[in-house]
Every structure is written in structure tokens, then in C-alpha cells.
Structure 1
Amino acid sequence: MRNRMLTHQPDVLRPRPPSGRMFRLGTLAAGIVALLVGCGTPGVRGVAGTAPAPNVAWTPPRRPAAPPQPTPPPELPADLASRIAQLTLTDVIDIALRNNTATSAAWADARSAAASYGAAKGQYYPTVTGDGTATAIKRIASGGLLAAKQQSFGPTLNVSWLLLDFGGRSGSIGEAREALLAADWTHNATLQTVVLGVQQAYFLYMGTKALLDAQQTTLKEAQTNLEAAEQRHRVGLATIADVLQAKTALSQAQLALESTQGDLQTTRGALALSMGLPANVPYDIAVSPDTTAPLGIVESVDTLIARATRERPDLAAQRAVVEQARARVSVARSQALPSLSVGGSANQTYFVHNPPTPTPPPGNGYTATLTLSIPIFSGWSQIYDVKAASAAADAAALRAQGFEQQVVYQVFNAYYALRTSTQTVRTSRDLLESATESEQVALGRYKAGAGSLLDLLTAQAALASARAQAIQARFSWNSALAQLAHDVGILGLDGSSPLRMQTDTTGTGR
């Protein structure tokens, strides 16, 4: 029995890890997982921030149930909405200046610069601040002192005024002033650029529309030639080759007409875009016949270059930027020079009655200070700040000089482009007259049986080309005139050009 008792020992529980240890291990694992997840790409609106692999497209967040409403189209002025189907160049420019976002943004920049300039001028005036304080004090009895409570409140007026800083204040104000001038000149330049863009789009649309009318005339002539060739072939006066040549000419005229019809819609949409309107807005512009001879420029290119250097608004903006950079040099230099300022404060204190603690009567106080601040050492930072500002001013001056050279080239290029366009208009008119006479002679010979159909088709092809060249030359001259006025810096907001012009365009002198 004893042996049995010795051999059968009571069951011993296996050792188990403490519950606190298990909790620490779980917490550590969760922390490691959280750290790994945190090191990944952050999510955006419930989706992964990037694609999972370089060959997989990123899945964007779900869009809201209700799609955003489209932006309503710009409203037309009441005086133009009634005649949107028949606009003039002045109307088109007026709509563009009202709706174009570039002019609005430039105007907003100018207003922002004006507000910054007003804020900078505030440095000439003292700074006045007002404070209000309330204080509660409770003291326990200790060391022979009795317990006490005290509550007080009162206002404080603080004044500080910078008297002298050797150019720092005036430099920062001058910097803000030049920034305002640069923004204003940039606004003017933006207006002229918008007007130029509208004019170029307008003349391109008008030229395409006039070309379409000319090609419709060419198409009618080709149809007439085909009918005549078929009639002559039926009576035995023409071969089948003449009929096929007439059909080929008709197909070519039809193809050119269809291509120009597509170009017309494209240029029409571009003109609407320049006005700040949707491309599908219903509008139209009538092509007015222009039989006046193009005018030649009277002023020399050197005179116009000198005028551009005085009146180009974007060049004036560059020069204002140079002055702005030079004003920063004055500000940087003032940081290494002494400054003198005065300040002071005045306060009134009122006490709340807390018996049995004695209550002091109300009182007031003031302080006055005269401060002379002298920079001694700051790790040579002022020296490097001055060098940096001076180098930046030199860089701005060089950029302005380079821009002035670009202005000279632009005026030079636009001047001779206008002279070339003037001569091209005159030459294209002569070409059109001779081509018209040649076509009439060839048509008469063909009807009389003395000329071939090939001669007639050749003359009509030359006439169609002469019509297109005359139209292109005329509207290119208008665009060249607007470009020169813009490059000189005198393009009017109504599209007018104050350049001196003359009827005689045969001169070739400068």
C-alpha cells in the first residue's frame, strides 16, 4: 500500500506563462504591425495613396453620388446679347476684356499689391495696442503673515514708434511701391495681349470665312465647266478626257471647300474661346467687303523702337522689378545699422473689495522708453544678406536689359512684317486682276471652240489660288498691323492703332 502510495503521485499542473506576459507580447506584435502599416503609402479618401505596382493603375476614390454641376457660361452684356448673331470687332474685344480670366487675374494681382503697399506705409506710424488683464491672488497664512485674497483688473495702453532705422523702413515701403507699379504695368500688358489675341483670332476667322465664300464660287465654276464639257461631249465637240478632267477639277474644289468648312468651325471656336465664351455659343460675324488700299507705315523703325522702350508696359514692369530688387538692398543694409525707437505704456488698476482683507484704492501707472538698438555680431549674416540682395538686384537689371533687347527685336521684326504684308496685299491684288482676266479670256475661247478645256481649268485654278492669296494677304496685313501696335506698346483697348499711316506704300526706306 505504501509503495502504491509512493508510486502514484498527485498530478502536477504544467507551468503556464503569466497572462501579463501574453498581453505584452500581443501588444508588441500589434505595435510592429502598426509601425509597418504606418511606413507605407498613406491613403486618400479611403483608397490607397498609390498603385500597388508599377504596372497597375491607381484606383481613384468613389465620386459623390450627385455629380458636380457644370459652371454656367459667362453672361453676355445686355447690349450685346440682343445682337450676338452680328458682332463687330469692337464688340468681340469688349466681350473678351470682360470675360477673360487673364485680365481678371492681373487685376486681382494689382489690387493685392496695392493692399500690400498700403500695409507697408503703416510703418511710418506708431503702433498702438490695448490689453485688458484680470488677476486673482490667494495667500495662506504662514510665517507670521495673515491669509489674504486680492482680485484686480484694469486696461493697459501700449505705444511703440520707430523713429530711425537708416533706410530699412523706407526701403521696404519702396519695395512694396515698386511691386505695385510692376503689377499695374503687368495688368496693362495683359490687356494689350488679350486684345492682340482676340484680333488675331478675329482676322483668322474672317479670313477663313472669306476663303469659304471664294471656294464656293470656285465650286460653282467647276460645276459649270463639267456641265459644259458633258454637253460638248454629247454633241461630239469634246472627248471623254475633257469630261474626266472637269470631274477631277470639281472633286478638287469640293474637297477644298469641305476642308475650309472644318477650318471655319475650328477658328470660330478659337474666337469664342478668346472671348471667354464656350466654343458652341451661337454667334456670327458678317464679312464686310474691304476695297480700301492698305496703308503704309510713316514712322521709321528707329522711331518706333525708341517709342517702345518708353511705352511698352511689360518693359516698364521689368524696370519696376529692378527698382524693387534695389530697394531690398537698402533693407538688407539697414539690418546692420542702429535703430532708434520710442515706446511707452499706461495702465489703470482696479481692486475688488474682499473683506476682511484691506482693499487698496485704484491707481494708474506709466512707463516711457527710448531704445537705441546697435547690431554688434550675428555671424556675418548681415554682410551676406547685403551681398545676396545686391547680386539679386544685378540679376534683375540684366534680365530687364535682355528683355529690352527682345522688345527691340520684336518691334524690328513686326515693322518689316507689316511692310512685307503691305506689299503682298498690293501684289496679290494685281495677281487677282490678271488671273480674273486670264480666266475670262480662257472661258471665252473655250465657248468659241478656239481653246481647250485644259487651258480653262488651268486659268480657273490660277484664279482660285489668286483669290485665296488675296484674302490671306489682306487679313495678314490686319494682323501684322495689330502686332506692330502691340509690340510698340500702343495697342488700344478697342483694337485701334495710333500708328501714323499713309496711302503711299511704295517706299522702301526706313
Structure 2
Amino acid sequence: MTNNPRKTISRRFCVLQIVCSIVAVGGPATALAAPLDLLWQDPFATQGYIVPLGKTWTGAPNNLPRATLPEAKPFRKPQSLAALTAYALAHNPQTRVAWENLRASAAGIGVADAAFLPSLSLSANAVRSQSNTTAGFRIPVLNSSSESLSLTWVLYEFGLRAAQRDNALAQLYLSGFQNNQALNQVALTVTQNYYQVIGQKALVQSYRQTVREDRANLDAARLKQRSGMATIADVLQAKSALAQAVAQLLSAQATLRSDQAALAESCGLPPYNPIPVAPLNLHHLPPDITPRMAALVHLAVRNNPLVQEAAARILAARATLREDEAQGLPSLAFSMSAGKRFQNNLQPSENWALGFTLKVPLFTGFQQSYAIQEAQRQERSARASLNQEAQSIALTVAQDYQTVMGARSAARASQIAVESARASLAAIRAQYRVGLATMLNLLSAQATLTSAEQTRVQDITTAYTQLANLVNALGMIGLPRNEAGLPALGAGPKE
């Protein structure tokens, strides 16, 4: 039976018209979609997951992972800075994240090493098929199954796998230095919060003393008023000073509670977990720095994790460059396979093959050459970033060094100012009792003493905090004497 050529052409023309009509209906915006896709706008009802505009979306699954807060830990005695730092390094989530990333990078080296070994795979399939001939005869159902075992082994590739392993090793270095940076950052945060807490506790104690002194001034003003030696103005001035001191005390106590919550959080504890700490010794100055600033700068450039991480990025860029260069070179692989094929009730047939595959890249559309150029530029950028990071750390060390020295000198001067203000207050109080000084003189002396005590606390805590910043810039958690010549920072202030 022969087909009419005119009818065949007519049918094809009709199909072409239908396709063109579908594309025309879809319009220019949907012309890239398959013709039949244009018949249904949302066959899987995906818009059912959307809520009206302005409404809260409630489509979260029941098995969505939930965040958990750490368990509270009771402390029976005041904690030193060293103990809190050690606890934070083991329990702060930031150190856990960095450590898990380090473990993942270590597994990446195993992935790179696996490329040197052969790959072995087993495959099996079963097929039941039937077909008809053009003459109208039906071929019987054919049942067949086959199993095969194949091995592939890359023998030589001009250093591609070695470059990939070096890249994985560089990623391990990066994760290691990032882990060290996380440890330093957690230690720095704990130290800053620790001295913030003990400094704020000292301010609270100072405000309490001011409240007691202002209450005593009010009692003295009332007593002198009853005896006719003072006016109501003295009493009102004393009341105003007492109210202001109470307000400052309440504000300082609220700030202390906030600082205590920050300290608990930095240690990996709930913010409501109380942590007792030793009080700040206001008569003990922060330790002096014995090494010269230039020696500290060189030490920081050598040990700071940020500088080390920038150096490791150069190794990663170099490995990437070698990997891109090897991609354009020939590779030789060995392959071997063997299998059996079963068909209906016939005897199984066997097959095997051994072969070598040589792959020689000839033209990649200039992709390979541009990849090499990109890797070369990234390697140069990484070298520039290393120098930039080193200069930044050197500047940080120099600034922290000067800040520590200045704060220590200021703390020594503030101690003298406190002793002078305390002596002046005692003298004016004695003069006020005998009528040789006014209430305004007494309150002014009291305010001077309070301000001097606040300045002393701030200078001492600033010196300790800036010393912690210097430790962090040096790439250390503590300052051992045998390496930097500095006293150890971590035992907290002496009692």
C-alpha cells in the first residue's frame, strides 16, 4: 500500500500550523517554552503554597529543625578569666562551627586521594520487550538480563590529581587558621565581657557609696536645719543629690545585668545564667608591656591567624593554577569490563574488554586559556592580600600598644586623683559640720570623688581590654612569658 505524497505534505503542513498557533497564543513572553507546556499554567497547583499579600506564611514543615539553647550551669564560687575562657572555647557555638568546618576540610583530602585509586562498578539490568514488523508479524516476547563488572583507572594526567590534592590541603590550612581565628575571637569576646562586668560591678559599688554619702549629707543638713545653722535650701540640695545618685545606681545595676548576660552568652551559656566573678582590684594596675613595639609587630605578622589564612590562600590559588594548566594536557586511562547476557532460555553469552583511553584536548573554545589567566590573576591577588593583611595587623598592634600604655598611665593618674578627692571630701565634710563650708561645697566635693572613681574604673578596665585586643592581634589566647616576654593574661586581676 503506497502513501499519497500530497496527503503526507498536507498533514505535515497542518501540524506546523497547529504548532505555530500554539506559539502565537503563548505570545513573545512564553515563546521559549515547549508548545504543550503552554496549555497548562500551573498543572501541579504550586500557587496553593502561597498566602495572600500581607499575610503570614505558615507553610513550614513539622520536621523543621529547631534551635536549642544551651543548658544552664551553676557556679558555686567566683570564676577566673582563665576558667571562663577555657569553658567558652569548648562550648561556644562559634568554635563548634569552625571545628566542624575543619573536619569537613580534612575529609576533602580523602576525596582528593581517592582520585588516585581505580573505580570499580557493577551493573545489572533486566528487559522484557516485544515489537511488530512492518509486514504485520509479531515477534515473540524477549526476556533478557545482563550483568557486567567494569574497572576504570586513570594512569597519568600530568599532575592534575596532585594539584587537586594540594588544593584540598590548602583548604584544610584555611579551615585550620579559621578555627584558630574563631578561638581567638571567642577568647577576646570573653575577656572584654569579663572586664566589662567587673568594671561595672566596681561602678555599682561606687554609686552605692555615693548614695550612702548623700544620705548622710541629707541627715546632716536636716540636723543643722533643726538647730538653725542651715536653711531649707541645704536640705533640698541634699535631697536632689540623693535622688540623682539613686537614679545613677539603678541605671548602673541595669547595665551590670546586661553585661552579665553578654558574658554568659560568650561562654556558651544562656544569657540568664549568673556567673560569679572576683571584684576588680582598684589598687592593682594592669601589667606593663616589656617587649618593644617592633618585636610585637613581627610576632603578630608571623602568628596572627588572619595573616596565616591569607598566606594559605596563596597556596590554594597556586594549586588551582596547576589544576587549570593540567586540564589542557593529555590523560591516559585504563579500562576493563566483563559481563554475561541471558536471553530467554538460551545459553548465556559472555563478553569482556580491555582498553586504554588517551584523551588529548585540542580546542576548548579558549575556555582553558582564560581559566589559566583567571587563576594567575587570583594568585597575584592573593599575594597582594597577604601584604595588605600583614600591614593591617601591624597597624592594629601598634595602635593597641599605644592605647594600653596610655590607659595604664591614665589609671595610675586616676588613682592619685581618687585619693586627693577623697581627702578633699573628708576635709569639706568636717568644715560643713562647723559651718565653714556650704552644702554646695560638700555636694561638689562628693561629685568630684564620684567622677574620679568612675574615671579610675574606666581607665583600668580599658587597659585590660586593650591588652586583650593586643593579645588577639598577636594571634594568641594567652601571653606566655617564654615566648613574648609578657605576663600571662588570663588569671584576671589580683585580689
Q: 1:378 aligns with which of 342, 350, 364?
A: 364
Q: Following TM superposition, by how much is the alpha carbon of 1:169 offset from its aligned partner in structure 2, in angstroms?
A: 1.5
**2:442 corresponds to 1:431:** no
Q: 1:345 to 1:65 in 2, by over 3 A?
A: closer
* Residues 113, 441 of structure 1: alpha-carbon distance in 2 compared, 3 angstrom cutoff: same
Counterpart of 1:379, as a letter, is G
Aligned match of 1:185 = 177
Q: In structure 1, what residue type is equivalent to 2:405?
A: R
Return the offset for 1:488: 0.7
Equivalent-residue separation in structure 2 for 1:501 and 1:389 (angstroms): 43
Q: For 2:352, which of 366, 381, 403 is the aligned residue?
A: 366
Amino acid at match of 2:451: S
- Consecutive aligned runs of 4 or more in structure 1 exceeding 6 Å deviation: 34-37, 63-70, 135-141, 147-152, 495-498
Matches within 5 A, 1:31-430: 43=47, 45=49, 47-48=51-52, 51=53, 58-61=54-57, 72-76=68-72, 81-83=73-75, 86-132=78-124, 155-287=147-279, 289=281, 291-347=283-339, 349=340, 354=345, 360=347, 365-430=351-416
Verify: 1:487 aligned to 2:473, yes or no: yes
Match of 1:8 in 2: none
Q: Which moved more, 1:66-75 or 1:291-300?
A: 66-75
What SS does the corresponding residue of 1:377 show, helix, strand or coil? coil
| 1:205 to partner: Cα distance | 1.4
Verify the 8 A CA contact 2:285 2:460 in the aligned structure 1: no
- How much has 1:36 moved relative to structure 2? 10
Q: Comparing 129-138 with 287-296, which one deviates more in the overlay?
A: 129-138
> Structure 1 68/128 Cα, relative in aligned 2: closer, same or farther at 3 Å?
closer
> Are 2:486 and 1:501 equivalent residues in the alignment?
yes
> How many angstroms apart in 1 are the aligned matches of 2:437 and 2:142?
124
Please report how far the alpha carbon of residue 483 of structure 1 lies from its aligned counterpart in structure 2 after TM superposition.
0.8
Query: Which residue of the partner structure matches residue 35 of structure 2?
Result: none
User: Is the CA contact (8 Å cut-off) linking 2:71 and 2:270 kept in structure 1?
Assistant: no
Cα offset, 1:191, TM superposition: 1.0
Greater C-alpha Rg: 1
Distance 2:85 2:260 in 1: 15
With 371-380 and 84-93 compared, the bigger mean Cα shift is at: 84-93
CA change 1:418–1:259 in 2 (3 A) is: same
1:133-180 CA-to-partner distances (Å, cap 9, x unmatched) read 557799999xxxxx9999776643322222222222111111111011
Match of 2:444 among 458, 467, 480: 458
> Structure 2 residue aligned with 1:441, among 427, 440, 449?
427
1:134–1:152 CA contact under 8 A, matched in 2: yes
Whole-angstrom distance in 1 between the partners of 2:469 and 2:275: 26
Q: 1:64 to 1:339 in 2, by over 3 A?
A: closer
Whichever residue aligns with residue 254 of structure 1, its letter is: V
| Identity percentage of aligned residues | 29
CA deviations on 1:202-252 (whole Å, 9 max, x unpaired) are 111111111001110011011111111121122122233322322232222
Kept after mapping to 1: 8 A contact 2:337/2:352: yes
Q: Contact conserved, 2:49 with 2:59, CA < 8 A, in 1?
A: no
The CA deviation at 1:307 is 0.9
- Map Cα deviations across residues 356-380 of structure 1 (whole Å, 9 max, x no partner): xxx55x6755322222221111222
Paired residue type of 2:170 = E
When structure 1 is superposed on structure 2, of 185-194 and 470-479 the one drifting more is 470-479
DSSP 3-state at the match of 1:156: strand
**If the length of structure 1 is used for normalisation, what is the TM-score?**
0.78
What is the alpha-carbon root mean square deviation over aligned residues?
3.5
Contact in 1 for aligned 2:147/2:341 (Cα 8 Å): no
Instruction: Find the counterpart in structure 1 of residue 30 from structure 2.
Output: none
Q: How many residues align?
A: 446
- Check whether the contact 1:162–1:340 (CA below 8 A) recurs between aligned residues: yes
In structure 1, how many angstroms separate the alpha carbons of the residues matched to 2:166 and 2:65?
A: 46
**Alpha-carbon distance change, 501 to 292 in structure 1, aligned in 2, over 3 angstroms:** farther
- The superposition leaves residues 59-90 of structure 1 with CA deviations (integer Å, 9 ceiling, x where unpaired) of 124589999998553124xxxx3426743333
Cα deviation code 1:414-460 (max 9, x no counterpart): 11111112111211111112112222222222234333333322222
Give the partner amino acid of 1:500: G
Give the Cα separation in 2 of the matches to 1:394 and 1:44.
52
Shift in Å, 1:467 = 1.0
Question: SS of the residue aligned with 1:202?
Answer: helix
Separation in 1 of the partners of 2:140 and 2:230?
131
The separation in 2 between residues aligned to 1:352 and 1:162, in whole angstroms, is 34
Deviation of 1:193 after TM superposition, in Å, equals 0.1
CA contact (8 A) 2:198 2:280 kept: no
For residues 293 and 275 of structure 2, the distance between their equivalents in structure 1, rounded to whole angstroms, comes to 39
In 2 relative to 1, CA 70–366 (structure 1 residues): closer, same or farther, beyond 3 Å?
closer
